[in-house]
Amino acid sequence: MPFGRKIPKRSTICAAVLVLLATGCSQGGGSAGGGEFREADAKAAAQRWVSTEFTPSTLSKEQQLAEMDWFMKAAAPYRGMEINVVSETITTHEYESQQLAKAFSEITGIRLKHDLIQEGDVIEKLQTQIQGGQNIYDAYVNDSDLIGTHARGDYVLPLSDYIAGEGKAVTSPTLDLEDFIGISFTTGPDKKIYQLPDQQFANLYWFRYDWFTDPAIKKQFRDAYGYELGVPVNWAAYEDIADFFTSKVNGDGTIDGQKVYGHMDYGRKDPSLGWRFTDAWLSMAGNGDPGIPNGLPVDDWGIRVENCRPVGSSVSRGGDTNGPAAVYALTKYVDWLKKYAPREAAGMNFSEAGPVPAQGNIAQQIFWYTAFTADLTQPGLPVVNEDGTPKWRMAPSPHGAYWKDGHKLGYQDAGSWTLLKSTPAERRAAAWLYAQFVTSKTVSLKKSIVGLTFIRDTDIRSEYFEQNAEKYGGLIEFYRGPARVQWTPTGTNVPDYPRLAQLWWQNVATAVTGETTPQQSMDSLAKQQDDILSRLERRGYGGQCAPKLNQERDAQYWFDQPGAPVAKLPDERGKPETLDYDELIARWKKAD
């Protein structure tokens, strides 16, 4: 979900201070105090970091030290260099900039400047370097949502090629690519890996477990709707639960005298409104075709590809951006925002809406990013018990009426290391060492504890998270469970993420305000996407995978073909279905 600030930050000033700290730590030689690099000092630094900071780890202390020793020796040709890398400002990257950059410099002798800037600025710097060919940063952490763009361009160095060739001597023998849970997200249509995941998080269903398990509240719901209150499996159940808490619980939509709401969202005309939709909202409704990590031939943006060539977004070209499933997705979003969320939610953006569930008056949220987990576990919050455990839980998101088995069911953000061809080879090699260092098994478990943005399966299954799972409200169970594979980023059907993503929030916003109907909004979006695909086709962007638009046909022709797009369903509600949360978790643990 590029372009902007994704999660609530402690403060902009704090982020700026961390950048200065990281910069200050990197000045001088390979140690914090500068001076000539000595292997004895590096080994002592490795001992210190492993003993005091890089704990716990999935590796033994001896294995950690061996891994650090490899980094020290591999870095020998690059000692004394100062490398510049950049990422957005989130907790995980703050930890890297403040702690891991310093450790890397002390152990390798490579001076490291890790800048933290807003995500939109990361993309701007990346595009400037691509267009101008001048090296601004030696490596970038940018979202894997750009995989379709990167794979079609000639500016990113595929990591598969780099590891096998130029970068072989600086590729760690303990990298273990198969341990990265998001490696499929960073793999192009040519099956090459283009980026290395550094952090990732999902959007899931969030709910007040304490309310959902309250016997009196459960009875009220059962009496009103005829089935059990629980985790909604489909949108029909979510809608009933939203209605219940907003207007019916205790007769007037209150709990303990406080007005509560059955839904939370945001609707201001703002770039973050685009993420609300491109981050797999349409796939949750059932848009596009089944397929993991993304639907083929039609993905969750409604873009159809044939032999890796995007051929259209509009239903008239075989796409699904303005098909019945997409219109249904937008219609439900607008209806729920207006009926069941606090009145002020329609005027909020992502950052403003994010902290609202922590205030204690929201019963459930269908679209909630796990990056908020740490913020909603702070002692003293109305949603946290006195013993520090959360009153809430997270679970798989419910799906819409058009969804079928095999569809993706949600979104994962995967910020990933990206190397550009315009970076000089020596600087690229040194930056690649740092990218591997901050994702290494020596440090990744501690980094996961700090930021809760898991990248390695071994970390998720570590003893630490086994013993502390109850602190995280279902996050660990989700990542260990079988459902996680259905949560994926934007895929390779999207050939120019920066240009196409900008269209979404502008078209969705007019549906929120009532200026256009959901159908009109999605018709406009589909046409604008096709216009961009047409321009990319004329440029030949992507070579053999460049867009090549289908000729327009009557919509019924495409509805009669197998798969997406599908005609409007006579019943877009269906039978509501819920699951008991504790039974769901027990089922996952049994399958683990």
Buried b (16+ CB within 10 A) or exposed e, 438-458: bbbbbbbbbbbeebbbbbbbe
Residue 209 has φ and ψ, to the nearest 5°, of: -60, -35
Task: Kindly list the distances between the CA atom of residue 519 and the CA atoms of 106, 225, 420, 544, in Å, as whole numbers in the listed order.
Answer: 58, 31, 40, 33
Cβ-based neighbours of 333, under 8 Å, separated by 6 or more: 265, 276, 277, 281, 508
Task: Report the distance separating Cα 175 and Cα 155, nearest Å.
Answer: 24
Average pLDDT over residues 107-114: 97
Q: Which residue has the tokens 């900071």?
A: 53
- pLDDT tens string 233-289: 999 999 999 999 999 999 999 999 999 999 999 999 999 999 999 999 999 999 999
- pLDDT tens string 352-400: 998 999 999 999 999 999 988 988 989 999 999 999 999 999 999 999 9
- pLDDT tens string 59-82: 999 999 999 999 999 999 999 999
Q: Do the beta carbons of residue 65 and residue 44 sit within 8 Å? A: no
Q: Do the beta carbons of residue 69 and residue 46 sit within 8 Å? A: yes
Task: Report the distance separating Cα 395 and Cα 418, nearest Å.
Answer: 31
- pLDDT tens string 408-430: 999 999 999 999 999 999 999 99
Cα 411 → chain centroid: 6
Q: Which residue has the tokens 């018990």?
A: 385
Tokens representing 51?
A: 């003993």
E strands, 303-459, where? Answer: 304-306, 309-312, 364-369, 392-395, 412-418
- pLDDT tens string 167-199: 999 999 999 999 999 999 999 999 999 999 999
Amino acid at 536: L
CA neighbours closer than 13 Å in the CB half-sphere of residue 13 = 0
Task: Report the distance separating Cα 276 and Cα 352, nearest Å.
Answer: 14
Task: Report the distance separating Cα 433 and Cα 453, nearest Å.
Answer: 21
CB atoms within 10 A of CB 41: 18
Buried b (16+ CB within 10 A) or exposed e, 332-352: bbbebbbebbbeebbebbbbb
Q: Can you give the pTM of this predicted structure?
A: 0.90
Task: Report the distance separating Cα 145 and Cα 204, nearest Å.
Answer: 18
Q: What is the mean pLDDT of the chain?
A: 92
CA neighbours closer than 13 Å in the CB half-sphere of residue 519 = 3
Per-residue pLDDT band at 25 (split at 50, 70, 90): very low
Task: Report the distance separating Cα 188 and Cα 521, nearest Å.
Answer: 31
Cβ-based neighbours of 212, under 8 Å, separated by 6 or more: 218, 229, 230, 231, 581
